[in-house]
Structure 1
């Protein structure tokens, strides 16, 4: 039988029934199947409380960028043993709407709320953040974080290395990316950092 004959005589009813597990962008899960008439049926599976696909595993990486300079997510800030084991004395929070001054008697905190939006001028926060980083790095260690430790905190640390070590953007970002592979400033921050010319 030729391929053309096979295609013209093929019947969908000869296909084996299967079920497909579907997860929507908002985190809901379904099992999709077909009935005897070939109509699609979606059956909800479980319940998601998030409204999105939740990542509930904490990110506890304390990325050592330089002696005394560390980078990561807000998850680390509720683990004083992680901070202490790295001799961290200062915590710089650059997330908007996130308060992480959990242990005020044990650590020195600074909160510089920055929105993670491409149109936010990240360089206008450099001077304030860099002064705190320098103070923290010389008196023990400083941990720089935002929510996920991916965009805002990374941008601040990239700018700091560019300023204090006269590194080109590619070098500063490349070094951080090797230590913290999830590092990825938003497109607006990337553009600003590439154009940033530190005044020494």
Structure 2
């Protein structure tokens, strides 16, 4: 990775043209290395290294005077890593909520099947069905292929022609819609059903 001394601004006012040139140079100097480091942490995704690098550069442009950074590579990596961890946590939470409210309901032991359990299962499925109906056709397609058919991002890409990054973003958006619906149904803490029956 090439390291150069970043020019410092001589006045307190930022020069947008100079910042743009500096950002462009930082991009050329650090993009490939940053994506490579992120790929070592997250693999090919999700989240995709290129998406995280883009977030880091956007944050750099929005909130920092690039000329004042002592170590832009570390700054960019830190921002990208934090964004990646946030995305991973979001996906894990969404999957856990969906599995918590859908999978166990469908494998209830026969001796524990009660009218209340049947009603709750139907309600949960109804909530999920309504949430899926609000998804865009593309989100439904990706959700069905990924979660129901078990297809990999590569298989979805080959079948539909979308990039893996696009598939990942679309799936995350779809899971976010389902997560919100399930959280509303569950009262955000999973106790709605119990509280209603007491």
User: Which protein has the larger Cα radius of gyration, Structure 1 or Structure 2?
Assistant: 1
The TM-score with structure 2 as length reference comes to 0.23
The TM-score with structure 1 as length reference comes to 0.23
Instruction: Report which of the two has the higher share of helix.
Output: 2
If asked which structure has higher relative contact order (CA below 8 Å, sep 6+), I would say 2
Instruction: Report which of the two has the higher share of strand.
Output: 1
